[in-house]
Structure 1
Amino acid sequence: MTSAVIPHKSATAPARLPVPLPLPSTAPAKAAHPHAVLDRASRAVLARLTGGVSPFSIQSVWQGWALNLARSPGRQLELVERAQVNAGKVGVLALSHALGREAEAPFRPRSYDHRFAHASWDMPLFALWKQAFLATQDWWEAATDNMPGLRPQDADRVQFQVRQALDLVSPSNFPWLNPEIMEETARTGGRNLMEGTALMTQDLIQTLLQTKRPAPEGFRIGIDLACTPVEVIFRNEMFELIQYAPQTKTVRPEPILFVPAWIMKYYILDLSQQNSMVRYFVRQGFTVFMISWRNPGPEHADWSLEDYRTNGIMAALDVIGAVVPDVKIHANGYCLGGTLLAIAAATMARDGDDRLATITLMAAQVDFAEAGELLLFVDENQVAFVEDFMWDQGYLDRPQMTRTFASIRAEDLIYTRAVNRYFLGKPDLPTDLGVWNGDTTRMPARMHSEYLRGLFLENRLTAGRFAVNGRVIALKDITTPMFVVGTETDHIAPWRSVYKMRLFSDCDLTFALTSSGHNGGILSEPGHIGRHYRIGRRAHGDLYQDPDTWFENHDSIEGSWWEELSDWLLAASGPAVPATSRPAVRRSPDNATNAPGRYVFD
């Protein structure tokens, strides 16, 4: 049973909320053959034992790598020579230390690898351990580099798996090889190890019981985070629609609808007061609405991508149209929310629905041929394995997604954190972004399977094979102006992949490239020290420019790209009207919940 909040009716245009669109039928599908059910149950058990990682996928890429290397004697000789050169470099460093001479380290860790940042790693004995590890890492990177006959994707996956194995045996992970741990143990008399053991016990209990850690003091949702004044004006089984209270005397006629990804809680866009994107745009004189997705459970396993479009974005547009009638809407999609918004906008264009004033896509991909390191986890074997895993429980749970994202930067996100907590006894310092990052959600089985297969694996959206209601949609049908944002160090939605919206669209499009990564680049409020961006406009009819050429032709600008988006939206909006002329909202008795709603606490 769904419920909705009914706003006061306008004197000039009656505001009537639509009935929420029905969710998928729960009627049982045709029963599978018992033998097929047995097979799937067996595969689901194996998937649980491996944490959703397909051993067949791992075996196949290693077999392909080994066979191609075996038939490449020149490559083998090259690797032998590289091993000799690397060993020689480490040997020269060891000899220099033995003679008491200064010598430059031949190998350096990656910029995001902080395992060897402590100054003691430059002391002679520890420096040799560090350099031996980095030399081994360098050799394996060369050994697993692409070679003729091996698919580049398979080479990348072998390299990734090697990196995971090497990270596990890094000398920084062992107390008797890590000088920082030795120094701290001597300084505290071993108290750091006792405190680290306590932290490890807490983490182990939380992992086994799958409990959610309460937010630390000063980071409570609705009080410290997600604290911009709001009203929940609509709720169905899939989302709540939040309307933010105006903070200016006048507002622009066209409201903004934010569509976050359903893989995240919406308050990434309304964190603390100083970095809330919502608060910023409310203070710029916009009426802002936000979708707060429900965290699905096993009973929602059959929710599909189409359900998220119809019962999510389209339902929200219908509600906003009733609350603020006779005006177009600025739509803003973040991450997967942006991908879904692009699908919705292309469908609306095909069907002659012109309710969108502008479209903003933040770190959102529409083409997945260059989707970055997440492609390391996607092939037919792995997708089938994940489908069996989800068939068993009805959704992809938080631990599986957390491990996937963390493993991409295992050096820093897994091992550096583990050393700090369990050997140095340093608890994680709470931050607003860190608290949000730990507040993860689930993904319903059907939707996630459609997403992995239809978008990631088969790339249907830009290949002209993505159908909505039985008819193919095309991004080039969109004529609404777009503002597309990429982030420089994004490993979830690489900026060159995000940039490809310019390739598959013909509308007036502004592209902004901001510093930092997938989340930090979006949270780039005015006054944030060290932030910069590049920006350029592609008018309708202009020729395509490749991303690297675009990058070279657009200078870096210090500051926040939020101001550019605000100016762009203001230019696409009508004259300001008194904020009091907007229809007020009220909550019906059956919907009486305090802001910021129910679903954000699921």
Structure 2
Amino acid sequence: MAQPATDPAAPEKKSPPKAAPERPADPPEEAVEGATGLDMVLVDAARGPLRRLVPPAGTALRFGTSLARQPGTLARRGGELARELGLITLGRSELAPGKKDKRFADPAWTGNPLLRRAMQTHLAAARAAWELIEDAGLDWQDDERIRFTATNLVDALAPSNVPVVNPLSLKAAIDTGGISALKGVGRMVRDLANPPRVPSMVEPDAFTVGEDLASTPGTVVFRTPVFELIRYTPTTETVREVPLLMVPPTINKYYIADLAPGRSIVEHYVNSGQQVFMMSWRNPDERHAEWGLDTYGQAIIDAMDAVERASGSERVALQAFCSGGIITAMVLAHLAAIGQQDRVAAASYAVTVLDWSRAGTISALMDEEAVNASTEKSRRKGYLDGAQLAEVFAWLRPNDLIWNYWVNNYLQGKPPPNFDILFWNADTTRMTAALHRDFIDIAVGNALTEPGKATMLGTPVDLSTVPVDSYITAGIADHLCPWQACYRSTQLLGGDNRFILSTSGHIASLVNPPGNPKSTFQVASDTPADPQEWLARAETVQGSWWPDFMSWLGERSGDEIAPPAAGDLEELADAPGTYVFDK
């Protein structure tokens, strides 16, 4: 799933290509780094992602004006499209979908003359759209705004989405005597009746938390109004002296790190002899509207205190995911400011962005009005609804997460396939209004890149003062936290850094168990300032990064000891605890 240096969706500069792009709806690679981001997701989730399908008036005006000033270019592109449409009409066009474009995989799209022409017309129009955007020569902000609009419109208008055109839909109707159509309509009605109002990606009863997922044995040993702390049961005769505290995202539930057996990060760590503790965030509601960054930062410190009591260790290691990594980095800067940096033996940041310069699109796709409207809406409600977040995530990759399931669920009347990651993704949580506001404030001001611009628990945040070694992971195809943005954390944090570039996207790069023959990761011996320079030096290693992280952490986790007793903490419940079931 590695993305090429030059996206095949970008048109040739000198002569039009004979073949269609691999993914006509994807923006060129140079836009990928700024195409999405946590900041944009949090703003859009409160306002609704469909508002971005229409670009701001100023952007649309500049796009139109730029093309109007190039009548020759417009005439040339129009002529190219007309010639291609003529070839399509005569059945002589060589346009074909990319090998990875699953929308047109059915043989009918090439074997049936009418379907082939419909497909080729769509591909020709998509190519023309990208060429015109390229010709407009907009600045990067306007360019990204227009590309996002074009991407969603091109995806939506694909003939594969039309019931009477898609051969899969027609075949299903014939095979079932029309029952597939009735089932599809029923599924659509159910999906549209409740947020997030997108096609279901997994059946609601596909898995059971605590049985199929989040089933690694352990106990809840500490609980506050904000989180539960799970201590996992050791499976080895000896364990590492320094325990690992895992900090999950604040956007979804913790068990992304404890999926099905054999695909569980926690299970692998425990079986490798690591003491593992997990924070499980409470699913907040309007009563918790004022819980902000300080609340969650204090929760991490409270969890560290409890882990030290339970393990007898004076130090802990931390591994944090996505938004949890933002809070963790700020907590480490706070500990350094108050002279308690020695409490942390090592830190790991998984798919976490600390430097938002071109990491998200707050400066490209958002404006001050959008930000203010977003935070005001969550303030009035007391929280940001997880279903709204799920809707935004889906529209970030509409071909994969909207239209793919549109065809499967509605046009063919089939249930979506069961997939543990998508079940976790559908098990949404809310975000407090204060945390929503704080995250956006940090992103808008890119505050973590400037010492003292942000604070945590009353102390200025300076990430360069964080002295612990860091293990930083990213996914090469991550559309939410682009790997280049994750890489820039190596330049902000003190201590020695090891950067790992995994295969796949945001979540699949994490859930990457050993034994998968397709898994690889890239690593280099040092971390220069330029991520592309790092990539040029990196070597590819076959397999998962999980064992590599266990080796790296083992070097910083002290001696091998017998599993410690429970300490003075009471066992409150069996894993996965109670907060994970909050709706």
Shorter-chain TM-score tier: 0.7 to 0.9
Q: Which amino acid counterpart does residue 551 of structure 1 have in structure 2? A: L
Q: Which amino acid counterpart does residue 344 of structure 2 have in structure 1? A: L
Q: Find 1:318's aligned residue among 283, 289, 305.
A: 305
Kept in 2, the 8 Å contact 1:515–1:532? The answer is yes
Change (3 A) 1:50 1:104: same
Answer yes or no: is 1:530 the counterpart of 2:518: yes
Question: How far 1:437 moved relative to its partner?
Answer: 1.2
SS of the residue aligned with 1:246? Answer: coil
Q: Find 1:231's aligned residue among 196, 200, 219.
A: 219
Change (3 A) 1:495 1:209: closer
CA–CA distance in structure 1, aligned partners of residues 63 and 518 of structure 2: 46
Question: How far 1:49 moved relative to its partner?
Answer: 13
Question: How far 1:305 moved relative to its partner?
Answer: 1.1
CA–CA distance in structure 2, aligned partners of residues 147 and 460 of structure 1: 33
Q: Which amino acid counterpart does residue 396 of structure 2 have in structure 1? A: I
Q: Which residue of 1 aligns with 2:125?
A: 136
Kept in 2, the 8 Å contact 1:61–1:154? The answer is no
SS of the residue aligned with 2:104? Answer: coil
Q: Which residue of 2 aligns with 1:388?
A: 376
Kept in 1, the 8 Å contact 2:291–2:435? The answer is yes
**Bigger CA radius of gyration:** 1
Q: Which residue of 2 aligns with 1:597?
A: 577
CA–CA distance in structure 1, aligned partners of residues 171 and 428 of structure 2: 36
Task: Summarize deviations over 1:434-480 as a string: whole Å, max 9, x none.
Answer: 2111101111111101111222x211111332223454321111111
Question: How far 1:165 moved relative to its partner?
Answer: 2.6
Kept in 1, the 8 Å contact 2:240–2:560? The answer is yes
Answer yes or no: is 1:424 the counterpart of 2:409: no
Q: Which residue of 1 aligns with 2:275?
A: 287
CA–CA distance in structure 1, aligned partners of residues 168 and 375 of structure 2: 43
Question: How far 1:374 moved relative to its partner?
Answer: 7.8
Change (3 A) 1:264 1:110: farther
Q: Find 2:545's aligned residue among 561, 583, 599.
A: 561
Kept in 2, the 8 Å contact 1:305–1:447? The answer is yes
Kept in 2, the 8 Å contact 1:383–1:449? The answer is no
Change (3 A) 1:504 1:49: closer
Q: Which residue of 1 aligns with 2:555?
A: 571
CA–CA distance in structure 1, aligned partners of residues 475 and 538 of structure 2: 15
CA–CA distance in structure 2, aligned partners of residues 569 and 267 of structure 1: 21
CA–CA distance in structure 1, aligned partners of residues 395 and 50 of structure 2: 15
Question: How far 1:344 moved relative to its partner?
Answer: 1.1
Question: How far 1:253 moved relative to its partner?
Answer: 0.5
CA–CA distance in structure 2, aligned partners of residues 214 and 127 of structure 1: 31
Answer yes or no: is 1:516 the counterpart of 2:504: yes
SS of the residue aligned with 2:423? Answer: helix
Q: Which residue of 1 aligns with 2:475?
A: 487
CA–CA distance in structure 1, aligned partners of residues 374 and 258 of structure 2: 32
Kept in 2, the 8 Å contact 1:120–1:180? The answer is no
Q: Find 1:62's aligned residue among 57, 60, 63.
A: 57
CA–CA distance in structure 1, aligned partners of residues 512 and 45 of structure 2: 41
Kept in 1, the 8 Å contact 2:196–2:390? The answer is no
Q: Which amino acid counterpart does residue 126 of structure 2 have in structure 1? A: Q
Question: How far 1:110 moved relative to its partner?
Answer: 8.7
1:107-118 equivalent positions in 2, closer than 5 A: 108=97, 111=100, 113-118=101-106
CA–CA distance in structure 1, aligned partners of residues 50 and 212 of structure 2: 41
RMSD: 2.8
CA–CA distance in structure 1, aligned partners of residues 371 and 400 of structure 2: 27
Greater alpha carbon shift after TM alignment, 488-497 vs 67-76:
67-76
Question: How far 1:260 moved relative to its partner?
Answer: 0.6
Q: Find 1:350's aligned residue among 337, 350, 353.
A: 337
Q: Which residue of 2 aligns with 1:340?
A: 327
CA–CA distance in structure 2, aligned partners of residues 326 and 187 of structure 1: 64
What is the TM-score of this pair, normalised by structure 2? 0.86
Question: What stretches of structure 2 of length at least 5 have no aligned partner?
Answer: 1-42
Q: Which residue of 2 aligns with 1:20?
A: none
Greater alpha carbon shift after TM alignment, 138-147 vs 81-90:
138-147
CA–CA distance in structure 2, aligned partners of residues 401 and 115 of structure 1: 26
Task: Summarize deviations over 1:211-261 as a string: whole Å, max 9, x none.
Answer: x99976672111111111111011111111110011111111100000011
CA–CA distance in structure 1, aligned partners of residues 169 and 281 of structure 2: 43
Q: Find 2:421's aligned residue among 430, 433, 444.
A: 433
Question: How far 1:375 moved relative to its partner?
Answer: 6.9
Task: Summarize deviations over 1:354-383 as a string: whole Å, max 9, x none.
Answer: 200001111111001122468765432221
Greater alpha carbon shift after TM alignment, 441-450 vs 87-96:
87-96
Change (3 A) 1:108 1:117: same
Question: How far 1:400 moved relative to its partner?
Answer: 1.4
Question: How far 1:166 moved relative to its partner?
Answer: 3.0
Q: Find 2:75's aligned residue among 80, 85, 89.
A: 80
Change (3 A) 1:368 1:304: same
Answer yes or no: is 1:266 the counterpart of 2:254: yes
Answer yes or no: is 1:458 the counterpart of 2:442: no
SS of the residue aligned with 1:391? Answer: helix
CA–CA distance in structure 1, aligned partners of residues 72 and 197 of structure 2: 51
Question: How far 1:79 moved relative to its partner?
Answer: 3.3
Q: Which residue of 1 aligns with 2:34?
A: none
Q: Which residue of 2 aligns with 1:94?
A: 89
CA–CA distance in structure 2, aligned partners of residues 59 and 534 of structure 1: 38
Greater alpha carbon shift after TM alignment, 75-84 vs 547-556:
75-84
Question: How far 1:318 moved relative to its partner?
Answer: 1.2
CA–CA distance in structure 2, aligned partners of residues 469 and 586 of structure 1: 26
Task: Summarize deviations over 1:92-133 as a string: whole Å, max 9, x none.
Answer: 243245xxxxx532x53594x532222211132112211211
Question: How far 1:557 moved relative to its partner?
Answer: 1.5
What is the TM-score of this pair, normalised by structure 1? 0.83
Question: What stretches of structure 1 of length at least 5 have no aligned partner?
Answer: 1-46, 98-102
1:156-171 equivalent positions in 2, closer than 5 A: 156-171=144-159
Question: How far 1:584 moved relative to its partner?
Answer: 4.8
Question: How far 1:168 moved relative to its partner?
Answer: 2.6
Question: How far 1:74 moved relative to its partner?
Answer: 4.7
Q: Which residue of 1 aligns with 2:94?
A: 104
Question: How far 1:409 moved relative to its partner?
Answer: 0.7
Q: Which residue of 2 aligns with 1:410?
A: 398
Question: How far 1:53 moved relative to its partner?
Answer: 5.5
SS of the residue aligned with 2:102? Answer: coil
Q: Which residue of 1 aligns with 2:565?
A: 582
SS of the residue aligned with 1:331? Answer: strand
CA–CA distance in structure 2, aligned partners of residues 60 and 427 of structure 1: 34
CA–CA distance in structure 2, aligned partners of residues 54 and 411 of structure 1: 15
Greater alpha carbon shift after TM alignment, 340-349 vs 71-80:
71-80
Q: Which amino acid counterpart does residue 507 of structure 2 have in structure 1? A: N
CA–CA distance in structure 1, aligned partners of residues 207 and 62 of structure 2: 53
SS of the residue aligned with 1:556? Answer: strand
SS of the residue aligned with 1:286? Answer: coil
CA–CA distance in structure 2, aligned partners of residues 89 and 54 of structure 1: 32
SS of the residue aligned with 2:262? Answer: helix
Answer yes or no: is 1:503 the counterpart of 2:491: yes
Change (3 A) 1:196 1:525: same
